[in-house]
Amino acid sequence: MHEEAATSLQSQQIDRPTSARAPDGKTGKTLFIQTYGCQMNVYDSERMADVLRPLGYSPVDKPDNANLVVLNTCHIREKATEKVYSEIGRLKAHKDLMAQNGAKMTIAIAGCVAQAEGEEIMRRAPAVDLVVGPQAYHKLPELIARAARASGERLETSFEADEKFDALPTLRAPDGPSAFLSVQEGCDKFCTFCVVPYTRGAEYSRPVDPIILEARGLAQQGVREITLLGQNVNAYHGQGPTLSGSETWSLAQLVRHLAKIGGIERIRYTTSHPCDMSDDLIEAHGEVKELMPYLHLPVQSGSNKILKAMNRKHSVESYLDTIAKVRQARPDIALASDFIVGFPGETEQDFEDTMELVRAVGYAGAYSFKYSKRPGTPASEMYGQVASEVADDRLQRLQALILEQQRAFNAAKIGETFDVLFTGKGRNEGQILGRSPWLQSVHVAGPEHLIGQIQSVRIIGTMPNSLTGELVTAS
């Protein structure tokens, strides 16, 4: 999609199949999950695979002959729903072919489009067997059984985040040495452009105890890096451990505790809201060595007038102030952000103010989006919608500036030596791929047995979106 950023360090909006491990591979039932949207959906897809594993579903990487296909959808972009319908159309062709051969494909629609438009989907697309909202994944096995009986309720989109987390199994099969861990869901901020408060519901923080349990389990299975997830993760305020009197913990307290788990060498968190960047979290950046020097702190606009219309509840000045404090605590921190251009009422001067803010901060990367109307949100009815060509032009200028800053940030690493966590095979034979503390991809010539380990690497070059380096000590 042309309106999406091409300048991110790591693509945020994703579109990929989720792989999960088979229990024994013998039961014969196959599962294909297609994931769209944010990291929250990536995490949810993994957890769906987890709840389905005991039922004998093993993953496949194509939908063609899968017994169960799950589309885990995202509602944040324009035409999200139409894309889901056209994907359902493609799947229906496979479903019909399978039926001719006496086999059955169950089609499930999950995620944020399911939450927002579940009933409409059930009405318009009879090929769909069931719809499941983000808070109801733990009910998937039951829903599948019901759909198999071809009767009763096909729709499950009720909001009970705590019930969902209680019901999900704690044992997970991680996909590699870096894993997501969901600690917070939903959002009460109601930015005027955003659908998340409607699709994910009210803000909810998981209690500390099950998070620790999940983190320990991941560490035991070789996970070295954990990314704590939440739509507003730094607003985290979960019930503390039963042993410590159960008072509420902040994200900083949670991070400090997770850092003590043997095997967990790196901790990250995403996404944060500028208003929730508390002093204790900023301090943790200076003190906890496991907390990686990377902060994604979306600002959206550099104009106070637009920020107000967006209902962001922070100003340009308060944002810059927070950034200054973070940099004081951790001078080498990599900063990332999200921007929206062409928000209703945005003038050329407002846009220039955004460019000015970008110049003032100096980002390691950022995601920038052209404003798109989301039905039902206050901004979609605001006066002063910006012409598409104007927004396109602004987006291009902003992305060029961000790309320039990203390249400068990457180039500054040439000649430095630092730890890299190897996460998988590289693009070329004999290459392995890793991640720097600042979330840059690093390509290195090295043996595959280093995957899962942290090794010292000297940076020798840069590519458009990544670094190249050489191992300092081959083990």
Residue numbers at the binding site for ligand F3S (CB under 6 A): 37-38, 40-41, 74-76, 111-112, 195-196, 199-200
Our finding on whether 194 is near ligand SF4 (CB under 6 A) is: yes
Would you say 15 or 153 has its CB closer to ligand F3S?
15
Our finding on whether 394 is near ligand SF4 (CB under 6 A) is: no
Would you say 4 or 209 has its CB closer to ligand F3S?
4
Residue 197 binds what, of ligand SF4, ligand F3S, ligand SAH, none (CB under 5 to 8 Å, by partner type)? ligand SF4
For residue 150, count CB atoms less than 10 angstroms from its CB and return exposed for 0-12, middle for 13-18, buried for 19 or more: exposed
CB atoms within 10 A of CB 328: 12
Candidates 55-63, 167-175, 189-197, 241-249; binding stretch for ligand SF4 (CB under 6 A): 189-197
* Contact pick of 91, 144, 181, 191 for ligand SF4 (by CB under 6 A): 191
CB of 270 to ligand F3S, least distance (A): 12
400, HSE (Cβ side, Cα atoms, 13 Å)? 6
Residue 41 binds what, of ligand SAH, ligand SF4, ligand F3S, none (CB under 5 to 8 Å, by partner type)? ligand F3S
Amino acid identity at 312: R
Would you say 70 or 295 has its CB closer to ligand SF4?
295
CB of 194 to ligand SAH, least distance (A): 4
Residue with tokens 């792989």: 19
Our finding on whether 303 is near ligand SAH (CB under 6 A) is: no
Residue 138 has which token pair? 């733990």
- Distance CA(301)–CA(200), nearest Å, equals 24
The answer to whether 114 and 80 are in contact (CB under 8 A) is no
Candidates 115-123, 193-201, 423-431, 462-470; binding stretch for ligand SAH (CB under 6 A): 193-201
- Distance CA(12)–CA(68), nearest Å, equals 26
Count residues binding ligand SF4 (CB under 6 A). Answer: 10
Our finding on whether 112 is near ligand SF4 (CB under 6 A) is: no
Q: Which of 450, 421, 423 is nearest to 438 (CA)?
A: 421
Q: Which of 187, 326, 180 is nearest to 267 (CA)?
A: 180
**Residue-wise burial string across 369-381, b where 16 or more C-beta atoms lie within 10 A, e elsewhere:** bbbbebeebbbee
Residue 285 binds what, of ligand SF4, ligand F3S, ligand SAH, none (CB under 5 to 8 Å, by partner type)? none
* Contact pick of 140, 194, 326, 333 for ligand SAH (by CB under 6 A): 194
Our finding on whether 300 is near ligand SAH (CB under 6 A) is: yes
Site residues for ligand SAH, 63-122, by CB under 6 A, read 76
Candidates 29-37, 193-201, 422-430, 443-451; binding stretch for ligand SF4 (CB under 6 A): 193-201
The answer to whether 65 and 102 are in contact (CB under 8 A) is no
Candidates 146-154, 191-199, 221-229, 262-270; binding stretch for ligand SF4 (CB under 6 A): 191-199
Would you say 183 or 187 has its CB closer to ligand SF4?
187
CB of 177 to ligand SAH, least distance (A): 26
Would you say 338 or 470 has its CB closer to ligand SAH?
338
CB of 78 to ligand SAH, least distance (A): 8
Binding string, 232-271, against ligand SF4, x = CB under 6 A? x---------------------------------------
- Distance CA(157)–CA(136), nearest Å, equals 6
Express the helix, strand and coil content of the chain in percent, nearest 5 each.
40, 25, 40
Site residues for ligand SAH, 361-380, by CB under 6 A, read 369, 371-372, 374
Our finding on whether 273 is near ligand SF4 (CB under 6 A) is: yes
Binding string, 20-59, against ligand SAH, x = CB under 6 A? ----------------------------------------
The helix/strand/coil state of 376 is coil
For residue 176, count CB atoms less than 10 angstroms from its CB and return exposed for 0-12, middle for 13-18, buried for 19 or more: middle
Our finding on whether 187 is near ligand SF4 (CB under 6 A) is: yes
Q: What angle do CA 4, 6, 7 make, to 5 degrees?
A: 120
The helix/strand/coil state of 304 is helix
**H/E/C letters for each residue in 228-268?**
EECCCHHHCEEECCHHHCCCEEEHHHHHHHHCCCCCCCEEE
Residue with tokens 């251009």: 341
The answer to whether 424 and 177 are in contact (CB under 8 A) is no
Site residues for ligand SAH, 222-241, by CB under 6 A, read 231-232
DSSP 8-class letter at 129: -
Q: Which of 407, 193, 197, 406 is nearest to 301 (CA)?
A: 193
Would you say 271 or 465 has its CB closer to ligand SF4?
271
Contacts of residue 114, defined as CB under 8 A and 6 or more positions apart, other chains included, come to 73, 121, 131, 132, 133, 134, 157
Residues that bind ligand SF4 (CB under 6 A): 187, 189-191, 194, 196-197, 231-232, 273
Residues that bind ligand SAH (CB under 6 A): 76, 193-194, 196, 231-232, 271, 273, 298, 300, 338, 340, 369, 371-372, 374
